[in-house]
A and B are shown apart, each in its own frame.
Chain A
C-alpha cells in the first residue's frame, strides 16, 4: 500500500513551547490529509482536514489557533501544537488518501506520542 511517514514518533516538550509534527506521503500525492488525536484506550478523534494550498477545516471543538495546520505541498502537512500544556499530551496520527485511483482507503502514519511536561 501507499506509505505515509510521520515524524517524530515521540517528542517530549516543556509546557508553553510549541511542537511541530510532520506528515509526508512518500509515494503518492495527497491533496487531502487528516489529523487525528487518540487518547489512551480510546478511538481516533478527527481534529481537522488538511487541504493542500488552502486553509484546514477543523472539527467542532478543536481550537484552530492552538493546533496550526499547514499543507504547503502535495506531500507534506504539518501540525503545530502551540503553547503546549500537559493536557495536550496524546497520540497524534495523520492519514492521507490518494486523490484519484481505485484505492479508497486512507493510509496512516505511524503516529506521534506527544508528552508535555
Chain B
C-alpha cells in the first residue's frame, strides 16, 4: 500500500531564511513523487515532481526537492523564503506500477514571517 507522511503540521520561518518541508513515503515499485501548494479556497497547484534521473529536482517559484531513496524521503526546500510562500503544501506519491491513483500527505502549513 502507498502512504505519505508529512511529520510537521506547521513550519514557521522568517522571510529570507531557508525553508524545508519534510516528506517521507512508502510505495511498492518505483515512486513518482510530487509537491503541490494550496492557497485558501483554491485547488492545488503543481510545484515539482520526481520521476527518474537527478535526485535534486527544481520546480516553480524557486522551490526544489531532493529525492533520497535510502531514506524514502522527498523534502521540499527553498533557499530564501518569501511571505507569499505562506500556504498549505502537500506531498504526494504514485507508484509506477499502481495505475494513476495518487496518495497525498496530510499537508504542512507554512508560515513565513516578515
A110 sits at the interface (CB 8 A): yes
A93 sits at the interface (CB 8 A): yes
A108–B107 CB distance below 8 A = no
A42–B51 CB distance below 8 A = no
A43 sits at the interface (CB 8 A): yes
Residues of A contacting B41 in the complex (Cβ-Cβ under 8 angstroms): 9, 91, 111, 113
B44–A104 CB distance below 8 A = no
Given contacts A93-B44, A109-B43, contact A104 B36 (CB under 8 A): no
A43–B105 CB distance below 8 A = yes
B34 sits at the interface (CB 8 A): yes
B103 sits at the interface (CB 8 A): yes
A86 CA / B105 CA spacing, docked (Å) = 26
A43–B107 CB distance below 8 A = yes
Q: How many chain B residues touch A (Cβ–Cβ < 8 Å)?
A: 21
A41 CA / B38 CA spacing, docked (Å) = 11
Main secondary structure of the interface of A (DSSP, over half): strand
A58 CA / B81 CA spacing, docked (Å) = 39
Contact of B100 among A4, A9, A32, A93 (CB under 8 A): A32
Q: How many chain A residues touch B (Cβ–Cβ < 8 Å)?
A: 26
B34–A105 CB distance below 8 A = yes
Residues of B contacting A4 in the complex (Cβ-Cβ under 8 angstroms): 43
A107–B104 CB distance below 8 A = no
The listed residue with most B CB atoms (<10 A of its CB), out of A41, A49, A104, A105, is A105
Task: Beyond the given A32-B100, A106-B46, please list 20 additional residue pairs across the A-B interface where CB-CB is below 8 A.
Answer: A1-B46, A34-B100, A34-B101, A43-B90, A43-B104, A43-B105, A43-B106, A49-B101, A93-B43, A93-B44, A104-B32, A104-B49, A104-B51, A105-B49, A106-B100, A106-B102, A107-B46, A108-B46, A110-B43, A111-B42
Provide a sorted-by-A list of 24 A–B residue pairs whose CB atoms are within 8 angstroms. Answer: A4-B43, A32-B100, A34-B102, A36-B104, A43-B90, A43-B104, A44-B44, A46-B101, A46-B102, A95-B44, A97-B100, A104-B32, A105-B34, A105-B46, A106-B34, A106-B46, A106-B100, A107-B46, A108-B43, A108-B44, A108-B45, A108-B46, A110-B42, A111-B41
* Closest A-B pairs by Cβ, 3 of them: A108-B43, A108-B44, A110-B43
